[in-house]
Amino acid sequence: MLHIQENISLKDYNSFGIDVKANHFAEIFSEADLQTLFENEITQLQKLLIIGGGSNVLFTQDYEGLVIKISIKGIESIANGEDILVTAGAGEVWNDFVNYCVEHGFAGVENLSLIPGTVGASPIQNIGAYGVELKDVFESCTAFEIKTGKIRTFNFSDCHFGYRESAFKGELKGQYIITTVTFRLASQPNINTSYGAIETELQNRGIEKPNIADVSAAVSHIRVSKLPDPSTIGNAGSFFKNPVIEKYEFADVVAKHPDVVHYPTPDDKIKLAAGWLIEQCGWKGKVVGQTGTWKNQALVLVNHGNATGKEVYNFSAQIIDSVKSTFGVTLEREVNIL
């Protein structure tokens, strides 16, 4: 039974733990709930915000509108040659979905273990970690069109995935609510341990021929050592994107800062490690009022208890200014600011 609540605190619905209120709030468990919700006047008369786990948002003020939390569940799989097509409801917790795949021997998402949030949000910013992005396993998704109430299917080529980008953040922003995502996974794993500390972690565990469960465990271990747990320290993961710059711009940066941490991109540009830039500016582990950066990862901004969204936002602006004046590079926020 659909229940629209009024004047509700969003503190438990965002991983930053920011205490703001929404005029209205509804939790959705099925596509039928969505149809019912959009027949209601309350929905038609105000602005809308879709959330899953709230782990990539920063609320800087009360939300004067309707917040729609997507909790559509269910996981189904069918074999397709050597591949497995797995369809999950948008409200499945991402890491529960990863664990399901690992337990069933469906390979492809093990490097994305322990990312907070929901399946439905995973295409929005094309989540990525440890050498894999959502786009590498994405087959299609279904979405409710807000204007018409129709369900539409989006294939890979419709989504325009890029680094922390997709059509859902760009030209289609605010138009669709993702209801299911289908992944193309493999019965024969293609183990990918090339990124960062995965190899070292596997060696420490004495594992020479890792399976997908080993990779998932190694990635989870590394993540826990670097990133704060939102259930104790509010945060939304990386606050900024790693900046991608042209080669000629990079030439200026590296001339002045020869040890700058950087990686080539497939489109012949250079990606800089924002965490390194921020650390070099002296911000790593800094506590400023109720906010600051995480002691083990300067790219993560945290709530030390009672931070307001405005406080975190203003702090992020200070970091942007400082990185710009030291390196001439402009950081872009990765977290959705509301």
Which residues does the annotation mark as catalytic? 164, 238, 334
Beta carbons of 134 and 156 less than 8 angstroms apart: no
Q: Judged by CB, which is closer to ligand EPU: 9, or 203?
A: 203
- Can you tell me which of 89, 128, 210, 292 binds ligand FAD, judged by CB under 6 A? 128
Minimum distance of ligand EPU from residue 53's CB (angstroms): 12
Residues 290-309 that bind ligand EPU (CB under 6 A): 297-299
Provide CB contacts within 8 A for 41, sequence distance 6+.
Answer: none
The reply to whether 218 sits near ligand FAD by the rule CB under 6 A is no
Binding flags for ligand EPU, 256-285, as an x/- string (CB under 6 A): -----x-----------x-xx--x----x-
The reply to whether 139 sits near ligand EPU by the rule CB under 6 A is no
Minimum distance of ligand FAD from residue 247's CB (angstroms): 26
The reply to whether 333 sits near ligand EPU by the rule CB under 6 A is no
Could you tell which of ligand EPU, ligand FAD, none binds residue 118, using a CB distance below 5 to 8 A set by kind? Answer: ligand FAD
- Record the tokens describing residue 274, joined without a space: 């924002």
Binding flags for ligand EPU, 211-250, as an x/- string (CB under 6 A): ---------------x----------xx--xx--------
Could you give the C-alpha distances from 202 to 68, 108, 128, in angstroms and in order?
41, 18, 20
- Can you tell me which of 43, 125, 293, 308 binds ligand FAD, judged by CB under 6 A? 125
The reply to whether 129 sits near ligand EPU by the rule CB under 6 A is yes
The reply to whether 331 sits near ligand EPU by the rule CB under 6 A is no
Minimum distance of ligand EPU from residue 275's CB (angstroms): 2
- Record the tokens describing residue 146, joined without a space: 């807000």
The reply to whether 122 sits near ligand EPU by the rule CB under 6 A is no
The reply to whether 18 sits near ligand FAD by the rule CB under 6 A is no
Contact footprint for ligand EPU (CB under 6 A): 129-130, 196, 226, 237-238, 241-242, 261, 273, 275-276, 279, 284, 297-299, 334
